[in-house]
C-alpha cells in the first residue's frame, strides 16, 4: 500500500506534500507547528487539512498492521494462496480485510464445526454436484449414525446444510454485495415500546426511513431512544432480492437434484448468520458517520466560541444565579484578578431584592464595574429582571451580558478550580469563571472539558475517546492561533500549546512563581523537562511582553529572528519600534521589493517571509479582535413580550444539523430552522451562521407553555 499516494489522492494534495507531512509527523512535530512554521515544506497546508491527514495516516498504518497480522495468521494455517494474498494486499478498508479473514478466524464451536467433526463434510461437497438424477436422501442416509447423534438422513442433510451455510456466510464477495444492497434499499424501522407513553420520541413511534437517506441527527436521536428503552429499532432489508442473489451465486438452478438443499442453506446463511451481522455493521457504520458529522459541527461551534473576542480593559462582575442558595457575585479587575465576592438573595424563597441591590450598588461603585456578566442557568431570568431594574433605578453607567455558563459548575467543582481558588466555595469559583469568560473566553474555557461547554448535539451519546481527541485538537488550534502570554497564562492554557505536555506546562508555572517573570524565550530552556524539541515546537506560540527581546512578543519563531532583524534594519526600523507601533507601516516600505527577491536576500521562504511581515506589522496582534463582540443590554424582555413579526438582534449560541439557536434577550433561546436561515438554499446551518454571530431575526411564533420560540432570518440578511 502506497500511503503517500493514497493520502495525496484523498486529500487532493500533491505527493511531495504528503511525503513531507509524513516525515514531519514522524519527526515529532505537532500539527500547529507544521501548519505555522513549516509552510515551505508542506506547501502551506492548513491545520484542518493537516489534522485530517494525521487521522487518516493513523488509520492507514493501523490497516497495514492488521493486514500483516492477517497474512501471517493465514500463512501459519497453511491456507494462504497467491490469489487470497493479492486480495488481502489490495483491500482498502478494515471491513474488506475482515471479510477476507472471516473464514480463517478461530471460531467458537459452531453448528458447521460440529457437523464437520461428525464427518459430514463429504455430504456437503456432494450437495455441490451438478449431476442430474442424484438421490440426495439415499446419499444422506449413508451418514446416519445414532451413536453420533445423527438418527436419520434428514438430520444428516440438515447438518451438511449447516456446513454450506457457514461457507456462504464466510464468502467476502457475498457479504460485500449484501452490505451494499441493504444500505441502498434497506430501511430503519422504529416502533414505540409503549405507544401510549408521552416522550420526546413520539415522532418515531411508528417511523420508517431509507438507510441511505437517514440524516446524522436522526440516527443519533433514534439510538438514544433505543438506549432509553423508549424505542425498538430494526433494519428491514430487501430480503427477497438478497435471497435471489444467493440462489444465483450458489447455482441453485444449475443443481437439479441438490438445488433445494442449496436454497435452504443459502436462506439459513442469510437469516441466521449474515443478516444480524450486517445489521449490526451497518448501524455501527451509520452511527459512526453520524458521530463524525456531529463532531465536525461541534468542532466548528467550539472554534467560534473559543475565538470570540475578549472584552479587554473592563472590570466585570460575575453573577452566578440561583434560588435557595443565593446568587454568588465576584468582581474581577481587567486582568482577571478577583477583587471581591459576595452572596445575595434576591430570588425565591428569600426575595431580599432591596438588600441585594444595595450590595450590588456598593460593589459597582467601589470597583467601578463596567459590565455585569450573568450566567444563563437556573434563576437567570429572575436575576436578569432584577439587574435591569437596578440599572434603571441607579442610573449607573453599567450594562449586562448573558453568558453561556455551560461547564462553569464542572470547573468550580474540579481539582483545578480548587487549586486556583482554595478559599472559595464552588459558587464563588463559578461566578469568577462567569466573569472571566467574558473577559477572555479562550483563557477561561480551556479549563473546562470541551464536552461540557455545550455547543454540540448528542455529545453524551458519542464515542468519548474520539470526541475528546477531536475537541482537544480544536482547542489546540485556537490556543496556538492566538498565542499565549507565558508570564500570565494558567497551566491549563499552557498545556494546549504546541509541544508542551501538561507536566511541562505545570513546570513553567512553578518556575515562574519561583523565579519571577520570564525575560526572554530562551529562558524557557531552564524549565525542567522542557528540552530543545519542546522549545522548537512551542517557542513561536509563547509571547513575552516587555522582556529583553522585542521579537518575543510576536509570532516570529526564534529560528527566524536573524531574518526578521535583517528585514527591520534594511527598512530603517529598530527592534524597539515594535513596541511603539512604528512598524505598522512596514508594508509601505516594501512596495518596491518583490517577495521572491526579498526572501532570497533574507534566506527564508516566501511563506515564512509573509508571516514575518504580518507579525512585524502588528506585533502581538490578537486574531480574535475583528470578531463581533457580545450584545450589551440594559433592559430585559419576557417571553410574553414577544409577538410574531418583531425584529430583534441576537447572538447565535449553538448550531446544529437542523438549525441554529439564537439568544434574543429572553431566558429561552429561539430556534431558526434551517429552512428559515436564508432566502437562498442552505445545505447545512454552518454554511449560513456560526456560534457568536450577531444576527437580525424575526419572531415567527411563541409557545409560552412549551417555552419555544420560532425565528426567521429570511429577508433580513
Task: Enumerate the β-bridge partners of residue 542.
Answer: 484
Name the percent of the chain lying above pLDDT 90: 77
Least confident interval from 24-38, 205-219, 256-270, 636-650: 636-650
d(CA 282, CA 184): 11
Query: Would the pLDDT of 12 be above 70?
Result: yes
Q: How far is Cα 185 from Cα 430, in angstroms, rounded to an integer?
A: 52
Q: Quick check: 692 pLDDT over 90?
A: no
Query: Contacts from 239-246 at CB under 8 Å and sequence distance 24+?
Result: 239/270, 239/271, 239/275, 241/181, 241/185, 242/178, 242/181, 242/182, 242/270, 243/267, 243/270, 245/174, 245/177, 245/178, 245/181, 246/168, 246/174, 246/270
- Average confidence (pLDDT) over 541-556: 96
pLDDT band at 281 (very low <50, low <70, confident <90, very high): very high
Mean pLDDT of all residues in 374-380: 88
**Rounded (5°) CA angle 216-219-220:** 90
Q: Span 701-713, mean pLDDT? A: 92
User: Is the model's pLDDT at 408 over the cut of 90?
Assistant: no
Residues 6+ apart with CB under 8 A from 164: 124, 127, 128, 250, 261, 262, 265, 266, 269
Strand (E) positions, 437-476?
Answer: none
User: Do strands 647-656 and 399-403 pair parallel, antiparallel, or not at all (unpaired)?
Assistant: unpaired
* Percentage of residues of the chain with pLDDT beyond 70: 100
- Checking if the pLDDT of 384 tops 70, the result is yes
Average pLDDT on 398-416 reads 87
Mean pLDDT of 4-12: 96
Measured CA to CA, the distance from residue 218 to residue 226 in angstroms comes to 12
pLDDT confidence of residue 688: 94
pLDDT interval class at 717 (50, 70, 90): low
| 63-93 per-position pLDDT tens digit | 999 999 999 999 999 999 999 999 999 999 9
**What dihedral do alpha carbons 163, 169, 172, 176 form, nearest 10°?**
160
Burial class, 35, CB count within 10 angstroms (exposed 0-12 / middle 13-18 / buried 19+): buried
Asked if the model's pLDDT at residue 215 lies above 70, the reply is yes
Looking at residue 352, its pLDDT comes to: 96
- pLDDT-based confidence at residue 273 (cuts at 50, 70, 90): very high
Contacts of 92 (CB under 8 A, 6+ apart): none
**pLDDT (tens digit per residue) in 283-301:** 999 999 999 988 988 899 8
- Residue range 557-572: average pLDDT? 95
- What is the mean predicted confidence (pLDDT) over 617-634? 84
pLDDT at 99 exceeding the cut of 90: yes
Residues 6+ apart with CB under 8 A from 129: 255, 257, 258
Domains of the chain: 3-104 (1.10.10.650), 318-463 (3.30.420.140), 639-712 (2.40.50.140)
Supply the pLDDT for residue 427: 86
Q: What are the tens digits of pLDDT across the range 576-624?
A: 999 888 998 898 888 778 888 899 999 999 999 999 999 999 998 889 8
pLDDT at 638 over 90: no
Mean pLDDT, the chain, whole residue set: 93
pLDDT band of residue 436 (cuts 50, 70, 90) is: very high
Q: Is the pLDDT of residue 221 over 70?
A: yes
State pTM to two decimals. Answer: 0.85
pLDDT in tens, 491-519: 999 999 999 999 999 999 999 999 999 99
Instruction: Give the bridge partners for 648, in sequence order.
Output: 697
In this predicted structure, the answer to whether residue 635 has a pLDDT above a threshold of 80 is no
What pLDDT digit, counting tens, does each position of 411-427 carry?
888 888 998 899 998 88
Amino acid at each position: 500500500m502506497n500511503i503517500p499516494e493514497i493520502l495525496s489522492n484523498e486529500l487532493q494534495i500533491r505527493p511531495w506534500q504528503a511525503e513531507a507531512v509524513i516525515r514531519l509527523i514522524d519527526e515529532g512535530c505537532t500539527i500547529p507547528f507544521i501548519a505555522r512554521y513549516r509552510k515551505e515544506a508542506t506547501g502551506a497546508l492548513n491545520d484542518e487539512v493537516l489534522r485530517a491527514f494525521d487521522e487518516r495516516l493513523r488509520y492507514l498504518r493501523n490497516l497495514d498492521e492488521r493486514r500483516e497480522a492477517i497474512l501471517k495468521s493465514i500463512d501459519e494455517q497453511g491456507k494462504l494462496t497467491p490469489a487470497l494474498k493479492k486480495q488481502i494486499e489490495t483491500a482498502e478498508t478494515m471491513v474488506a480485510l475482515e471479510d477476507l479473514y472471516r473464514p480463517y478466524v478461530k471460531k467458537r464451536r459452531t453448528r458447521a464445526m460440529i457437523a464437520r467433526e461428525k464427518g459430514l463434510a463429504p455430504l456437503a461437497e456432494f450437495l455441490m454436484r451438478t449431476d442430474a438424477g442424484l438421490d440426495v436422501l439415499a446419499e444422506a442416509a449413508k451418514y446416519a449414525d445414532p451413536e453420533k447423534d445423527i438418527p436419520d438422513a434428514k438430520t444428516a442433510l440438515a447438518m451438511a446444510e449447516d456446513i454450506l451455510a457457514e461457507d456462504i456466510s464466510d464468502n467476502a464477495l457475498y457479504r460485500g454485495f449484501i452490505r451494499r444492497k441493504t444500505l441502498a434499499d434497506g430501511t430503519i424501522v422504529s416502533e414505540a415500546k409503549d405507544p401510549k407513553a408521552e416522550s420526546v420520541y413520539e415522532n418515531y413511534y411508528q417511523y420508517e426511513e431509507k438507510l441511505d437517506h437517514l440524516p446524522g441527527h436522526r440516527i443519533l436521536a433514534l439510538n438514544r431512544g433505543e438506549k432509553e428503552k423508549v424505542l425498538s429499532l430494526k433494519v428491514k432489508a430487501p430480503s427477497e432480492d438478497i435471497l435471489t442473489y444467493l440462489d444465483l451465486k450458489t447455482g441453485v438452478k444449475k443443481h437439479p437434484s441438490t438445488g433445494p438443499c442449496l436454497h435452504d442453506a443459502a436462506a439459513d446463511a442469510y437469516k441466521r448468520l449474515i443478516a444480524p451481522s450486517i445489521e449490526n455493521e451497518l448501524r455501527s457504520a451509520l452511527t459512526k458517520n453520524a458521530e463524525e458529522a456531529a463532531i465536525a459541527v461541534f468542532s466548528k461551534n467550539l472554534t467560534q466560541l473559543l475565538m470570540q473576542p475578549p472584552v479587554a480593559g473592563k472590570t466585570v462582575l460575575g453573577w452566578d444565579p440561583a434560588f435557595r442558595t443565593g446568587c454568588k457575585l465576584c468582581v474581577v479587575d481587567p486582568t482577571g484578578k478577583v477583587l471581591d465576592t459576595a452572596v445575595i438573595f434576591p430570588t425565591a424563597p428569600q426575595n431580599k431584592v432591596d438588600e441585594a441591590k444595595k450590595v450590588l450598588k456598593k460593589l459597582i461603585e467601589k470597583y467601578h464595574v463596567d459590565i455585569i456578566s450573568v450566567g444563563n442557568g437556573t434563576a437567570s431570568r429572575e436575576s436578569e429582571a432584577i439587574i435591569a431594574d437596578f440599572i434603571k433605578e441607579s442610573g449607573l453607567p453599567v450594562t449586562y451580558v448573558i453568558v453561556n455558563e455551560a461547564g462553569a459548575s464542572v470547573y468550580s467543582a474540579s481539582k483545578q478550580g480548587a487549586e486556583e481558588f482554595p478559599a472559595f466555595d464552588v459558587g464563588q469559583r463559578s461566578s469568577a469563571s462567569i466573569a472571566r469568560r467574558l473577559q477572555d473566553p479562550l483563557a477561561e474555557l480551556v479549563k473546562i472539558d470541551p464536552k461540557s461547554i455545550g455547543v454540540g448535539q448528542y455529545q453524551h451519546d458519542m464515542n468519548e475517546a474520539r470526541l475528546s481527541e477531536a475537541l482537544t485538537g480544536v482547542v489546540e488550534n485556537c490556543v496556538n492561533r492566538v498565542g499565549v502570554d507565558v508570564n500570565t497564562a494558567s497551566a491549563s492554557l499552557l498545556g494546549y500549546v504546541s509541544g508542551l505536555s501538561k507536566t511541562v506546562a505545570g513546570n513553567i508555572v512553578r518556575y515562574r512563581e519561583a523565579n519571577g517573570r520570564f525575560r526572554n524565550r530562551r529562558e524557557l530552556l531552564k524549565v525542567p523537562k522542557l528540552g530543545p524539541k519542546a522549545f522548537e515546537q512551542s517557542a513561536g506560540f509563547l509571547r513575552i511582553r516587555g522582556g529583553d527581546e522585542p521579537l518575543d512578543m510576536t509570532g516570529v519563531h526564534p529560528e527566524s529572528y536573524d531574518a526578521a532583524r535583517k528585514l527591520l534594519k534594511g527598512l530603517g526600523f529598530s527592534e524597539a519600534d515594535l513596541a511603539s507601533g512604528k512598524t505598522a507601516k512596514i508594508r509601505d516600505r516594501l512596495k518596491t521589493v518583490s517577495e521572491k527577491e526579498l526572501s532570497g536576500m533574507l534566506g527564508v521562504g516566501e511563506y515564512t517571509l509573509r508571516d514575518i511581515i504580518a507579525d512585524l506589522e502588528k506585533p502581538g496582534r490578537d486574531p480574535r479582535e475583528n470578531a463581533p463582540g457580545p450584545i450589551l443590554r440594559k433592559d430585559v424582555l419576557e417571553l410574553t413580550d414577544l409577538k410574531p413579526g418583531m425584529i430583534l438582534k441576537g447572538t447565535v449560541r449553538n448550531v446544529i444539523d437542523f438549525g441554529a439557536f439564537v439568544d434574543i434577550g429572553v431566558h429561552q433561546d429561539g430556534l431558526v430552522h434551517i429552512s428559515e436561515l436564508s432566502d437562498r438554499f442552505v445545505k447545512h446551518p454552518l454554511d449560513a451562521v456560526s456560534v457568536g454571530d450577531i444576527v437580525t431575526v424575526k419572531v415567527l411564533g411563541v409557545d409560552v407553555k412549551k417555552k419555544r420560540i420560532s425565528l426567521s432570518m429570511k429577508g433580513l440578511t
